[in-house]
Chain A
Amino acid sequence: MLAEALALSAVLFAIGVIGVLTRRNAIIIFMCVELMLNAVNLSFVALSTLYGASGQVFVVFTMTVAAAEAAVGLAIIIAIFRHVKTVNLQNINLLKG
């Protein structure tokens, strides 16, 4: 059971990473980041069967932080959209050296 759960977690995380790397839309990237977070949550829960309840406690923390992060992240995306009328990250390179 543990092995299947960890495998699923790894697949989800990899999907999230590939999404972040390949997609251009900020919203989708944001969702992929959330996917990665939840993949980690899944492995925490799975491993708590071995190492006690602290893994599950971590998951609660992670979800709390993810909720706050979602709020801030979405707010930033909205601000960017208002500024440049797009959420395509290909068009946003203010940090170019």
Chain B
Amino acid sequence: MNPAMTFEGAHPLAATIARLVWLLPLLPLLGFLINGALAMLGAAKIGPADPSEGHHSEGHGNGHGGVHGHEHDDAHDHADHGHPPRHKFAGIVSLVGPGVLVAAFLLASAIFFAMRGVEMEHPYVLTLFSWMPVGDLNLNATILLDPLSMTMVMVVTGVGMLIHIFSVGYMQDDPGYPRYFAYLNLFVFFMLILVLGGSYPLLFVGWEGVGLCSYLLIGFWFSEKANADAGKKAFIVNRIGDFGFLVAMFLMFANLGTLDILGVADKAKDLPMGGAVATAIALFLFLGCTGKSAQIPLYTWLPDAMAGPTPVSALIHAATMVTAGVYLVARASGVFSMAPVAQLTVAAVGALTAFFAATIGLKQWDIKKVLAYSTVSQLGYMFVGVGVGAYVAGIFHLATHAFFKALLFLGSGSVIYAMHKAYHATHNHDDAQDMRNMGGLRHHMPITFCLMWIATLAIAGIPLFSGFFSKDEILAAVFARTHGSTLAEASLLGIPGSTVLFIVYGLGLVSALMTAIYMTRMMLYTFHGPNRTGEAERPHLAEAPWVMTGPLVVLGILAAFGGWLNVPALLGAIGPVGGLEHWLEPVVGENALRTTLGEAAHLSHSTELVLVGTAIAIAVAGIAFAVWRLKPAALVAKKDAPAAEGIARVLENKYFVDEGYDAAIVQPTVAVSRNVLWKGFDAGVIDGLFVNGSALLARAFGWMGSQLQTGHLGTYAWVLLIGVLTILGAFTYR
């Protein structure tokens, strides 16, 4: 039925190592099983947790790092300066956890090179088993290997491997060490299912699975209520988006008759351009994306997700899982390119999110919160890219963002690690994640300092660093589509498409400026100026061990040179032009061309020069502005800091969006649930009317019957006589 499917048997990849692609997800699954077994085995031997075991997060920051120290002062004074005992299986776990990822990455690389060696005109589909043969729906568990999924696999296994190695250093002293790696391995398993799944339901399995692992890892230190609450928030907010994904799948099956990714892409071509079906499917899919990828209006869970261990924030909440929505839009580009209104919506929401989150990032004090809002903002950029049909640019930014944001998070992880160690050594309970308590760390952690500046320059868009190429490509793509594209001809809420795109472009520029400002601000406050940690703590500040800085160095190289993946023609001198563009062409090329009316989006040479010049100027201006205006020397430690006022207060409190959602949605829901559903319907109608009511009815009938039972023989005899006479009468006078 589908040209790609019939091609399966003879696909050139079938003869290569790519036929082992099913091993890719199995490797982390194996790691999950082993680590999970060790976690349970360890728990069984250790017995019920000691309530005074306060140092379960020892040496590690989390959303409320400062609180952790309290217990162990009383209970563990004797062990304070040594390490708490490591988990008895820490050695095996340190081998298995990152080991399976190294194996998966090697296998992925081998498959990647095998794919480079053959013509990838058609995707390689590997059918594993029949999954859901129900009526008209005959769903197989298939693996879809094409350049797009391969790109994601390389990002997931590559960055994932580095973060696993980093975690060995970061989490080694945690009593939940095997459990941590079990979750992390399980996450990679589901993420690989997500990117390799050959049908939307299988993709959805991975989609839900990574959500589960995200929940488990955000609430990893669940003994503190705030962390457990953050996990629940992420899970519940994601459910809202998942509802959209499910509806989109129902619509696909009802209107296209298939749920296969290639089948849907094939059928979508025959839909009317801009028709209701394609628009509805695309918009519902995008609702799913807003949940998973933290876009307006469902972004609020991501900043709270920073309650998890920092490597988790790097892997799940920056590099891989949250980009699943971008992947999904590129994956369903066949549907999206048929629905310009939906595309405009995606781009507009992305641009708004990028702007909105960047403003909040300007005034955050928690180093991880800055990065969290930066992630939300950068995800907005990616959606702008895939929204305007520049799928390659979106995926390109996804990849470079995975590099530099993972580096930033891991760098902040090693900062927090150093801060926590210093505070721990002196029994100080200050906040190890607040930038007001840092400052001047460049003298203490020079490697982290250098690497994080590389990442900052990359995200700010300084030329030749990776972020410059990808961000510039997205903005140029937006600009190019303001004329001569399906988007420019469509309209969103009555605003003509080209106007929308100009607004999107403007928001993108402003966000880029703010990105440069808040990232420079973070670097200045963390690494420059005088140190504010405290006199006693200062000597204890030190660089993290090599197992942590090693992955940082690799990510630093990637963040610096990741732009070489897809060099624009303008800079053709420095490398091969448009590598990623050619690589992804078989997957998204046709759909991208549909948006640009059949011709490759093209800007004149001079226009392109102006755009690039503007982008560079903005990045430099942002950094210069931050250096000029912000005085790290004037900053005081958190405990002495005055409360913010005016607009700064609004920004520091994230526009009170959480409070707004709470008042507008959560509290009414709770009130309705409590008063109407619980007390009214459940207690009143179900319990009162149905359960107790039917019992009451039976009792009433029983009481009436019991009144006949007088116990007097005389009554019975009378009744008997009347009965007999009635029967006789009936026979006599019938």
Contact = CB atoms under 8 A, between A and B. Distances in A.
Interface residues on B, range: 10 to 19
B714 A97 contact: no
Contacts of B705: 97
Interface string B708-726: 1111111001100100000
Contacts of A93: 710-712
B203 to A, nearest CB: 67
A95 B721 contact: no
B718 A95 contact: no
Contacts of A92: 711, 713
Contact of B714 (A89, A95, A96): A89
Given A97-B707, A97-B709, 7 more contacts: A17-B721, A21-B714, A21-B717, A21-B721, A29-B713, A93-B711, A97-B710
9 contacts: A21-B718, A29-B713, A89-B714, A92-B713, A93-B710, A94-B711, A95-B711, A97-B705, A97-B707
Interface of B: 705-714, 717-718, 721
- Which of B709, B711, B721 lies at the interface centre, i.e. has the most chain A CB atoms within 10 A of its CB? B711
B717 A20 contact: yes
* Closest 8 pairs between A and B when the two form their complex, measured CB to CB: A93-B711, A97-B709, A96-B711, A97-B706, A95-B711, A89-B713, A21-B717, A93-B712
Contacts of B713: 29, 89, 92
Contacts of B709: 95-97
A95 B712 CA distance: 8
A95 B711 CA distance: 4
Contacts of B707: 97
A96 B718 contact: no
Nearest to A26: B713
Nearest to B716: A95
Interface in A10-41: 17, 20-21, 24, 29
A94 B710 CA distance: 9
Nearest to B718: A21
Contacts of B717: 20-21
Contacts of A21: 714, 717-718, 721
A71 to B, nearest CB: 20
Nearest to B706: A97
Interface string A51-90: 0000000000000000000000000000000000000011
B667 to A, nearest CB: 54
A20 B717 CA distance: 8
A92 B716 CA distance: 13
B712 A89 contact: yes
A19 to B, nearest CB: 11
Contacts of B714: 21, 24, 89-90
A24 B715 CA distance: 11
Contacts of A90: 712, 714
Contacts of A24: 714
The residue among A29, A89, A90, A97 with the most chain B CB atoms within 10 A of its own CB is: A97
Nearest to B702: A97
A90 to B, nearest CB: 7
B464 to A, nearest CB: 97
A46 B230 CA distance: 100
A86 to B, nearest CB: 14
Contacts of B706: 97
A89 B715 CA distance: 11
Contacts of B712: 89-90, 93
A21 B717 CA distance: 6
Contacts of A29: 713
B364 to A, nearest CB: 77
A17 B707 CA distance: 25
Nearest to B724: A17
